[in-house]
Structure 1
Amino acid sequence: MIAALPADVERALAATAGRGFSHLFLVACGGSLSIMMAGKYFADRHSGTLACDIYNADEFVCRDPRRLGPDALVILCSQTGTTKETVRAAKHARERGATTIGMTLDQTSPLARTADRAVAYQASYTTGKAIDSACSNYGVLYMLLAGLIDARENAGLTADLLRSLSHLQPAIDRAHRTYESRFQAFVPGFARRDAIYTLASGASYGAAYSYAICVLMEMQRYDSQPIHANEFFHGPFEVVDKDAAFIVMLGLDETRRLAERARDFLFKYGTRENILVLDGAELDLTGMADRIKPYLAPLVFFDTLWRFAYRLADLRGRPMLDGRRYMKKLTDY
């Protein structure tokens, strides 16, 4: 049970107390950028006073938003804390007078040393160590955002969030059991594919983005693409035929009807055996606050799909992490 915010999150929030920030920038690369997508949705839905933008770290430096200055707060994330673009973005933000918070596994890393404040989170995907998902990058980002919004608008988000996060890991464990037979049925066909597309909307789109580029492409070398559920109808649906393979995430937020529409199109013009649907409505999220559930469903989706990816890897004869050609093996690119 999480009764209070972690001490480093509390310290970071205390350092921002009373500051009249008008703008929030969420900055990262790759998988770390994907969590910022859910974070922006959270901020957009719950803050009436804090405008929020999300940027790839190096484009953030190149674009150099005019709103970046002393009244801006920049939250950055890098797993190792060594992502050069993200460290450069933190330096750039500080040079412009902005306040920075760096999220990273390594509190001695360049990002942790560069940001005004550093906060820690846990990750099982890269460390191989079991964690409580409440302390994941998603969880910690939501804690920061809820604390910021509550301090400005007294929204009561933090209490609901902490209570809900306390029920997250049991929900993930139940979801693994729920999806066991479904994954077993889909793995043989998907393992033979050259291309698998991921589709989602709203708070779940970041999970689809990360799964496409960081898992299917990076670790298994599928031709893959994350597709926004409404953008699907503005070009991408032309790839749909009886052989097209899709992973669809039906979230619980206000954009759910967008993903339902895309799912229905896929069922009509594709083949159901090639369309793996994960539906937040079928998850057992007992104990969570209703307004927090939409933001935690993507964590459940991604955690269960991670196990699905390992099953694909076994059939494809391609290791998940060690089989990468460039990631973590080159330093001069």
Structure 2
Amino acid sequence: MDEACITLGHGAGGRPMQALIQELLLPLFDNPALAALEDQARLPLPTQPGCRLAMSTDGYVVSPLCFPGGDIGCLAVNGTVNDLAVGGAVPRYLSCAFIIEEGLPMALLRQICQSLAQAAREAGVSIVTGDTKVVPRGQADKLFITTSGVGEIPAGVDLGMHRIAAGDALLVSGPLGDHGATILAARQELGLSCQVQSDTQPLHGLMQALLARVPGLHCARDLTRGGLNAVAHEFAAASGLSLWLEEDALPIRPAVASLCELLGLDPLQLACEGRLLACVAPAQAEQALAVMAHWPGGEGAARVGAVGEAEASPVLLHSALGVVRALAMGEGEALPRIC
């Protein structure tokens, strides 16, 4: 396959498309289920009594495709793996669909696919089925990826917003807003610089460690679009309780804070791609923080607040000056095309 760029023929089902699949995708995503080249993957189901299947799907349209700390390939794997992991699932399989704009350099596609394959290996998941479509110039923006994931929830694991209780400690697993700030700074037309890189990483290992060592873990959610603010509002709405955040405790890197101040953005609404918010029984909060602190990227893990009784405002921020203010839920998309 010596073409320099993607052509419409790479999505037409003929020889160019077969070459793309056989010479680029199959060698990178190699596994028995994919090698069969059927129109579906044939996978074993969990056999242990009490196990459940978990499934998640997500689309990735990040711009630019490559950014400090990652690219759309590893982002697509980590994002879907994390959606499974925070529910207590062990990720097993991924599907991967590409929508490619005519003219995308083949070298760039190869680079992204290599990154995607490496991220899948690091997360311990197999890419077992997929699809490739090519659209004419101007009908997409270089490359979009959709991944779906299947995982296995072990017997006895019960995590979810139904378990959030008043008094629970709120913990974040690392600094907030790194990914959103990185994408913003990477957009060349803005002419900005930021000494930070995306936090994109899989969270399934951290979640399994928490489940093994912190029986008081009630709920977790990865902090993607809308950041901590969005997830806090989701927790409040689902539980009927209020969440109190302590401004002094929020782990935000100075570079991220400075960029947000310059542009009038709220770091609590910036996306992360390798951080989670956990609700933990207060007696086990320190144990959970210790687990987080020993995980890659967990140097900023912090207890940032608590779940309280229902209030008129679902999410409240206690400032360093002792002032309490309600945090409004985000309106619109403050920073589009971040994932």
Question: Do they fold alike, i.e. is TM over 0.5?
Answer: no
TM-score when normalising by structure 1: 0.28
Structure that is richer in helix per residue: 1
Higher relative contact order (CA 8 A, sep 6+): 2
The structure having more radius of gyration, on CA atoms, is 2
Q: Which structure's residues are more often strand, by fraction?
A: 2
